[in-house]
A and B are shown apart, each in its own frame.
Chain A
Amino acid sequence: MLDHRACHIHDKDMSILRILNSLPVFWILLSIPALLLVGEYWTGDIIAMDMLHPTGEFSARFMIIALMITPLSVIFGQRRWIGWLMKRRRSFGLAAFGYAMLHLLFYLTDMEALEPILAEFWAPGIWTGWAALLLFLPLAITSNNASMRRLKQGWKRLQRLVYVAALLTLAHWLLIHDGVAGALAHFIPLLLLELLRGIIIYARRNNMTRQQDSLQAE
C-alpha cells in the first residue's frame, strides 16, 4: 500500500519534470530576455536606440548556439545532452530569427523615417545586417517538418545559408559597434568548435582510408 503510494508520487514528480523539460517550456525560457527588454522599453526605462544592441546580441547568441550543436555532436558523439540540444536546435534558430525581427522593429522605430534608413543603407555596418536578415527569412520559413519533407535534400542545402548569415552577422557586429570584444567573445568559441569539427572529420576520413588500404593489402 505504502509502496504503491510512493510510486504514485514518483510518477507525478516525473511528469512535472517532463513538462519542465518540454519544448513549450523551453520556448518560454528563450523568450524571457525579450519579455524583460520589451517590458523595460514599455515602461520608458530604455529608448528604442538602446534596444538595438541587446536584441541583436541575443539574436546572434541563439544563432551561435544553434550552430554549435552540430560540431559538438561530431566532437562528443552520441550523448544524452547532445540529443537534448539537437531536439532544441530548431527552437534556437527560430529564437535567433525572432530576436532579429525585434532588432529590425526597434531599428525602424529608432530611425523613424525611410529617408535616413536609405541614407545609411550602404554603410558597411548596415547592409551586412540587412543581408543577414534577408538570409534568415527563408531559413525561418522552412524551419518546420512540412518544409523538410517537401524540400528533401534541398532543405539541408538551403539551411546551410546560415553559415553565410553568420559571417554577415559577425561583419555587421564588428563594423557597427565600437570595440570588437563582444563580437569576438561570441564568435571565437563557435570558430574553435568548427575548427575541431574539421580536424576530427579529416582524421576519421584518413583513418578510414588507411583501414581500407590495409584490408586491400590483405
Chain B
Amino acid sequence: MKYSAFAVAIAAVLASAGLSAPAFATGKMSCEAGPQSGWKTRAELEASLVKQGWTIKKSKVDGGCYEVYGTTPEGDRVEAYFHPVSLEKLLVSRRGEILFRKK
C-alpha cells in the first residue's frame, strides 16, 4: 500500500512516454523532386543499376528519394539513395558509415 502512489506515478510516466513518443524523422536523405508523375520508375533505376553490376535486394521510396538495398559493383553491401528524376547517386551508406555522398 505504501508504494501505491509510486505505482500511479510510474503508470502515468509510462503511459505519457508511450503516447508522446515523438515521430522522429526516419531515413538518411530527403529529395525535393516534385510530383511523382515526373519521376523515372523504380524499375528503370533497378535495370540501370543491374547493368552497372549491382545486385539488388530491395528498393523503395524514402524521403522522396529512391532507396536501394543491395551490393555495389565493388562488392560492398550497402543502402543507397538516388534522385527519382535524374537517377543520380546521392548517398551510399553501409550500416551508418557513409561510403559516398554527392558533393
CB B71 to nearest CB in A, in angstroms, measures: 7
A49: chain B residues at CB < 8 Å are 57-58, 69
Q: Among the listed A120, A179, A189, which residue makes an inter-chain contact with B94, where contact means beta carbons less than 8 Å apart?
A: A120
Majority secondary structure of chain A interface residues (helix, strand, loop or mixed): helix
- Assess whether A123 is interfacial by the CB under 8 Å rule: yes
Chain B residue nearest to A192 (CB atoms) is B13
Chain B residue nearest to A191 (CB atoms) is B17
Of A1-9, A21-29, A111-119, A132-140, the segment with at least 4 beta carbons within 8 Å of chain B is A111-119
Cα-based distance from A205 to B67 in the complex (angstroms)? 55
Known: A47-B58, A175-B96, A179-B26. A184 touches B3 (CB 8 A): no
CB B95 to nearest CB in A, in angstroms, measures: 4
Number of contacting residues on B, CB 8 A? 27
- Assess whether B97 is interfacial by the CB under 8 Å rule: yes
Cα-based distance from A75 to B25 in the complex (angstroms)? 35
B3: chain A residues at CB < 8 Å are 75-77, 200
Contact yes or no, B24 A75, CB < 8 A: no
Q: Mark A residues whose CB is within 8 Å of B.
A: 47, 49-50, 75-77, 110-111, 115-116, 119-120, 123-126, 175-176, 178-181, 184-185, 188-189, 192-193, 196, 200
A176: chain B residues at CB < 8 Å are 95-96
- Assess whether B23 is interfacial by the CB under 8 Å rule: yes
Contact yes or no, A181 B22, CB < 8 A: yes
Q: Among the listed A115, A178, A185, which residue makes an inter-chain contact with B75, where contact means beta carbons less than 8 Å apart?
A: A115
